[in-house]
Amino acid sequence: MAKYNTLLYYCYSTIADAEQFAADHLKFCKSLDLAGRIIVANEGLNGTVSGSPEACRAYMDALHADPRFANIDFKVDEVDVPSFVKMHVRYKSEIVHSGLRDPHIINPEKQTGKHLEANEFLAMKDADDVVILDVRSNYEHNLGKFKNAITLDIENFRDFPSKINELSQYKDKKIITYCTGGIKCEKASALLLHEGFSDVYQLHGGIIKYGKDAGGEDFDGKCYVFDNRLSVEVNSVNPVVISTCFNCGKTTPKMINCANPECNEHFTQCDECGEKMDGCCSDACKEHPRKRVYDGTGYYVKIPQPVNASKKTKALSE
């Protein structure tokens, strides 16, 4: 039996007084001795939490008992150690930052692409009239992506709307969007529909659920995750490594954050270069006076420094 579980989930569901909900939810998570990161907004929840199997089960049961969150599809990973060291619950304007805040234009509760289960995705993905669209950031799809997927040059999901025009050539195709757990696709597919793409789908549960349900077939490389694991294996059917070391170009699946906190770049680096560069992306970062101690993992706990935040929001970052 797994010593710990890690839960990945999201839910678009209106939360009244979401800022107060966030404060209360932080206390609840701490009462279960969970660690993780949860974003709360008026539009819903986006979270990854980790703890004992019993605590995770109690957490899932509690959310499913709330009518607002009854349909949450939790992705559960068994892990040897917790995937976080602290518990954070933060109130924000969106549960995934997109800049698409007008509910009259984008509202995942009312309209998104058609959800495809793993077997449906497998049946469709290689057809001539289908385009598979990765809506994640560069550092994510550089580490791993579906074979033949279209990727976009974006640093953050909020850049996605500005790239819509680059996809106009595919308006007569079936578009299948995918991301890590499905949350970005809810807004990406809704925006595509708003912009005149008529046949839009999304991979339900994202890469993580697809790996569990279909063995990750034809997903090349590893999947970036937003916790101290940094990446996870997805494909147990026909796995390959596609990422290369930022410094030397050698094939490597290892993703790290630069040891210089003022850079904190996400990049792939082989162990040999990791030792040579002390976990940094460049010589300048290696010599930086604030460089963190590299322990071989390339994961660092962030120290939140809220700016112009309310007292309640500051309390949520403890």
Question: Does domain 4-95 correspond to CATH entry 3.30.70.100?
Answer: yes
Name the pLDDT band for 314 (thresholds 50, 70, 90). very low
CA angle 230, 231, 237 (to 5 degrees): 175
Has residue 245 got a pLDDT over 50?
yes
| Contact between 26 and 316 (Cβ < 8 Å) | yes
Q: For 150-185, how does the pLDDT look when each residue is reduced to its tens digit (9 = 90+)? A: 999 999 999 999 999 999 999 999 999 999 999 999
Lowest mean pLDDT among 9-18, 41-50, 288-297, 302-311: 302-311
Instruction: Give the domain ranges of the chain.
Output: 4-95, 114-223, 244-300
What was the pLDDT predicted at 309?
37
CATH 3.30.830.10 assigned to 114-223: no
Residue 263 designated active-site: no
Q: Choose the catalytic residue: 179, 223, 270, 281.
A: 179
Q: What is the pLDDT of residue 52?
A: 97
- Asked whether 159 and 98 are in contact (CB, 8 A), the reply is no
- For the segment 1-53, what is each residue's pLDDT rounded down to a tens digit? 679 999 999 999 999 999 999 999 999 999 999 999 999 999 999 999 999 99
For residues 45-70, average pLDDT? 98
Read off the pTM. Answer: 0.88
- pLDDT tens, residue by residue, 84-132: 999 999 999 999 988 776 766 788 888 999 999 999 999 999 999 999 9
